[in-house]
Amino acid sequence: MKVYKRGHAVGTFRSAFAVLFVAASWGSASADTFRIEIDWMQTAGHSHQPSQTVLNAVIQMFACAGHTLIIDLDEEVPHYNVMPRNPDNCDSFFGYSGEAASFGALRNGNFDHAGDANFWHYCIFGHQYEDDNCATSGSSGLGQRPGQYFVVTLGSFSGQTGTAFDQASTLAHEFGHNLNLTHCGQDDCDAEGNYNPILTSTMSYRYQLGGVRNNVLCNGLAGEEAKFKEIDYSHGRNCSVNEVALNENIGTYMTPVDWDCDGSFEGNVAQDIGGGNAGWCGATGTKSTLSDVNEWSIVSAFNDSPHPIQVIEEISCITAEEWEQVQRETEAAGGCSQPTLAVEGCVAGENVFVGPLVVVNAGTCTFPFSTPALADSGAPNNSIIYVKPGTYDAAGAVTLDKPATWMCPTGTATLR
Ligand SMILES: [Zn+2]
Ligand SMILES: [Zn+2]
């Protein structure tokens, strides 16, 4: 019998019979090459040109997922405070070329790789743009989903250019829209909201500018052992939670979470934690099931080769006001100060969950293992394996020898 307690690492144990693991889509995504041409605006006093450090952070993010990202930091274009939309039709931003300051005119004059045999995305690091009411927006950027074009516009942010972290994370975020990603993991984010904490991704407003790992830790959603990077798309391993009936004792499966912020942990609370405002304590939006998705598999499925793209939508992104709200909300708890931008090392292993497929009132894992033996054979080396409290049948001759750390974050798990 082996007992897992919170925070205890366990090496190996034996059980009664070998269990064959049927291979799932673990790490099987194909390697792709993506290309972005970036032009930038600059004027007296500030430049929107991203540094090589900013670009390298995003190139490294793709490299860690097995992909090649090629960025051509190409040329300066004239600085306009606001890139406008067609005053007679505020719906389309990227399709308008009627003024010199418009994205379309800048693209027509400066997109050098437009006719290349390889498919290139085109991005302008600019100041601001007009929203779909033709009013100046304080948004960090705008991207076609899916598509070829996006802008990073941090003119309302720190120093009118944003921090280096803002620039790198927003570059990854807007490019993610081109690669068919949204803010919540679903096609339509009306119910889930833009702040899905279960989607541990630069695509969620909860993590875009505050960093994924940094925000997971400072909001108490996991312990230091959890495998997250600061700038990343989600790997889709987190368990779903149902906002109608949250089990605070189980929390994220990685640690209990006081979702309704009442200072105690209850087994069944209703709370909007994914939208309406920056976090969960005061959120009053629609309650729904929040899920994680494997965004890297979506990225791999995007056919980044010369072909006509059926653009579904243009997605506008977190505003300076919304980012200030994210920061304000965590001040009482000591704050979630932004991490310093660095080229992150690739993370070995994954967060892996062991538990029943269906757990009433606690949601389900996107890709759970029902026994420790299955997790041992299916998880990558160096994973953190979270075992839901309970008793598991594992008697037999299987050796669990995967280099991994086994944790039961919310109680005790017993093997018999
Ligand atoms: Zn500017
Ligand atoms: Zn966005």
Per residue in 351-400, pLDDT tens?
988 876 544 444 456 556 777 888 888 888 999 988 877 777 665 545 67
- Helix, strand or coil, per DSSP, at residue 222: coil
- Whole-number Å distance, alpha carbon 88 to ligand 1 midpoint, is 26
pLDDT tens string for the chain (416 positions)? 455 544 443 433 333 222 223 333 444 457 899 999 999 999 999 999 999 999 999 999 999 999 999 999 999 999 999 999 999 999 989 999 999 999 999 999 999 999 999 999 999 999 999 999 999 999 999 999 999 999 999 999 999 999 999 999 999 999 999 999 999 999 999 888 999 999 999 999 999 999 999 999 988 999 999 999 999 999 988 888 899 999 998 899 899 999 998 999 999 999 999 886 657 887 888 899 998 999 999 998 887 776 778 899 999 999 999 998 888 776 665 667 889 998 899 999 989 888 765 444 444 565 567 778 888 888 889 999 888 777 776 655 456 777 888 887 777 777 77
Residue 403 lies in a domain: yes
Both 39 and 66 in a single domain?
yes
Place of tokens 């490294």: 60
Share of the chain above pLDDT 70, in %: 85
Task: Say how many domains are in the chain.
Answer: 2
- Whole-number Å distance, alpha carbon 13 to ligand 2 midpoint, is 45
- Whole-number Å distance, alpha carbon 7 to ligand 2 midpoint, is 36
Tell me how far apart the 2 most distant CA atoms of the chain are, in Å.
73
The pTM for the full model equals: 0.90
Contacts of residue 88, Cβ cutoff 8 Å, sequence gap at least 6: none
Query: CA 377, CA 380: separation in Å to the nearest integer?
Result: 8
C-alpha pair distances (Å), 397 with each of 13, 107, 247, 391, 405: 9, 64, 35, 18, 20
Both 77 and 172 in a single domain?
yes
Both 312 and 370 in a single domain?
no
Both 138 and 17 in a single domain?
no
- Whole-number Å distance, alpha carbon 108 to ligand 1 midpoint, is 21
Contacts of residue 361, Cβ cutoff 8 Å, sequence gap at least 6: 242, 245, 246, 247, 267, 268
Two tokens, residue 395: 């008697």
Residue 187 lies in a domain: no
Structural domain including 80 reads 33-180+302-329
Both 161 and 308 in a single domain?
yes
Both 150 and 55 in a single domain?
yes
Q: Is 1 exposed, middle or buried (0-12, 13-18, 19+ CB in 10 A)?
A: exposed
Tell me which amino acid residue 85 is.
R
Query: CA 56, CA 36: separation in Å to the nearest integer?
Result: 13
Two tokens, residue 165: 């972290």
Both 20 and 39 in a single domain?
no
Task: Give the number of residues written for the chain.
Answer: 416
| Centroid of chain to Cα 125 | 21
Place of tokens 């779903």: 240
Both 7 and 111 in a single domain?
no
CATH number at residue 129: 3.40.390
Query: CA 357, CA 367: separation in Å to the nearest integer?
Result: 9
- Whole-number Å distance, alpha carbon 314 to ligand 2 midpoint, is 9
Both 13 and 147 in a single domain?
no
- Whole-number Å distance, alpha carbon 185 to ligand 2 midpoint, is 12
Ligand with smallest separation from the Cα of 44: 1
Both 386 and 405 in a single domain?
yes
Both 11 and 101 in a single domain?
no
Two tokens, residue 331: 């001040």
Q: Identify the pLDDT of residue 11.
A: 35
Q: What is the pLDDT of residues 121-166, one digit of tens each?
A: 999 999 999 999 999 999 999 999 999 999 999 999 999 999 999 9
